[in-house]
Structure formats: C-alpha cells, structure tokens
Amino acid sequence: MLVISDIEAKEILKSKSKKIWVNLYRKKIDRDELKIDEETLVKIASKKGCYRIRNGKVERIEISADHHYKLVLIAKFHAPTIYIDGIHMHRIKDVFPEQDARMKVSTLDIKYLERVLDTCTGLGYTAIEALKKDARVTTIEKDVNVLKIAKVNPWSRFLFRGVRVGRANILIGDASSMIKKFENEFFDKICHDPPAIYSSGELYSLEFYKELYRVLKPNGKIYHYVGEPQKKFQRKDFARGVIERMREVGFKNVKRCDKVKGVIARK
Ligand SMILES: C[S@@+](CC[C@H](N)C(=O)[O-])C[C@H]1O[C@@H](n2cnc3c(N)ncnc32)[C@H](O)[C@@H]1O
C-alpha cells in the first residue's frame, strides 16, 4: 500500500523523471511502483486530498458518516491534517502540524519513561512526539473514524508502533469520562490538545479540569491548547477564562504560552 496526495500527482504529471518523491513518506520511489495510469493521476491531481493505492486500485482517504473526514496534505514534506466537516484539526498557518505538535510537547520537558496523558489522539502527532521522548503514553480519542484515518496515514505510523511495543495505549471514548478511570496522581505530564470549544465544551469545563488536576502528579506539568477562538467568536477573554478555571481547581504557575497558542501550568 502506498499513499500519495494531489500534490504529488501534480508533480508526477509535470515531471519526466522515473524517480518520484512521495512526500508522505519523504522518500523517492520508482514511477512504475505506483501502478496507476495517467488518467487516474489526473483525477487525483484535480481533487485535494490523500489517496491510498493498493494493487493498482485508488481510494481517497475519506469517510462519510455522521461527519465527513478527510486526510489532506497542506505542504510538501510535512504531515497532513485531518478535516472534520471542513474544519482542520491541526494548525496549518505559519506552522506545520508535526512542528506544532513538537512545540506543544516540548513545553512539557518529558523525561525517560514518564507517564503522559494525551487527551485527544487525533492523528497522533502529539502522542508521537511524547513517544519520541521515550514516554509511556496513554492517548484518548472519542471518534473511531479519526482513528481509521490515522491508521492509513503514513505520518501516524509511529503511534501504532508505540502500541505494538507496549509504549502507547489508545483508548476509545470521551476523555471527560474516560479520565475518571485513572488513579490519583497517575501521570507525570498531560498534553491537552482539544478541538475548539464550540464542538467540545466538555474538554474546557471546570469538572474536566478537576479531573486533569487529580490525575496529575504533584509538580507535574500540563499543556492546554486554547487556540484563538476570540478571533472567531469575538470573546477576548477566552484564554483568561481557561486560566481562571485552571487556577480555581488548583493548578499553579498558570500562564499563556503564545508560541504554542496555549496555557501551561503545574500541579
Ligand atoms: C485537535 S485534534 C487533536 C490533534 C492531536 N493531538 C494530534 O496531534 O493529531 C482533536 C481531537 O479530539 C477528538 N475529540 C473531540 N472531543 C473529544 C473528547 N471528548 N474526548 C476525546 N477526544 C475528543 C477529536 O475527534 C479530534 O480527533
């Protein structure tokens, strides 16, 4: 199986070379390995998205269910993002998804074998960054369709490798209820990377923050993505509200970190 995007298809159509770059794997392959004809390439090039090629058969990586999910490569040699109902789940302006995940996770100073809770798996980029730091990662995703897309995304492979070698655990369910299963002070670090509040209010609630506080070890660190919803909803004090609620449940040193559009704090 091979995954290519509209971006490669356009390049292959333009190029005369026998060797082609497959951005999603950051490697060159033989043009013939694709086993697809020019007409199919034209089709792929004409519609933004990623495509799985198996035995000469081409399938767009998308799912239409209660919501619509698709994998989209934004820029060559960078990780793709997932769109859910037309909304991308990663930052794609001024930063690439994998870089953003790296910056978010680097705020946590993860040490060897520390236990990390990654509240929202998505395509697994933040979990992968924690795994690269040799953490033991528990990640939660409530939407199985997102995980189905992650399973065929070449950039998510390290997460599933982490599961195979016993370093990562993917739980399926709502993080706001799943978190109740964990013992007090179970995690050394928490990466909380939720979607915007309008679709996941439960992940910004005082109740959930109490749980995040409970499962974190004393002096443990948390990163909480808040984005810039004030731009969309004209609510200037959105991050301030998050900070206040985090303080209210007991977090200390709660401060904004603009570089990663979030809030960091300690227990
Ligand atoms: C911004 S994305 C996370 C990106 C992810 N950290 C990554 O690196 O790819 C948010 C994800 O949270 C999931 N989600 C939304 N509400 C949730 C909930 N209550 N519990 C767990 N996951 C949730 C969404 O389905 C989506 O995949």
How far is Cα 229 from Cα 248, in angstroms, rounded to an integer?
22
Tell whether ligand 1 has an atom less than 6 A from the beta carbon of residue 92: no
Domains of the chain: 2-88 (no CATH), 97-266 (3.40.50.150)
Q: What is the DSSP string of 20-42?
A: EEETTTTEEEEGGGG---HHHHH
Contact call for residues 246 and 254 (beta carbons, < 8 A)? yes
How far is Cα 28 from Cα 47, in angstroms, rounded to an integer?
23
Dist. CA 82 → ligand 1 center (Å): 11
The series of mean pLDDT values per 10 residues for the chain, 267 residues long, is 89 82 74 84 94 89 97 92 95 93 98 98 98 98 98 96 98 98 98 92 97 98 86 67 97 95 97
Which of 100, 142, 181 gets mutated to test ligand 1 (max ligand atoms within 8 A of its CB)? 142
Q: Which pLDDT value is given to residue 178?
A: 98
* Ligand 1 atom showing the smallest separation from residue 126 Cα: 8
Q: Which pLDDT value is given to residue 229?
A: 58
Tell whether ligand 1 has an atom less than 6 A from the beta carbon of residue 141: yes
Dist. CA 70 → ligand 1 center (Å): 15
Coil vs helix vs strand at 216: strand
Answering whether pTM is above 0.85, one says yes
Q: Which pLDDT value is given to residue 232?
A: 54
* Ligand 1 atom showing the smallest separation from residue 174 Cα: 20
State the sign of the Cα–Cα–Cα–Cα dihedral 173, 174, 180, 183.
positive
Q: Which pLDDT value is given to residue 233?
A: 54
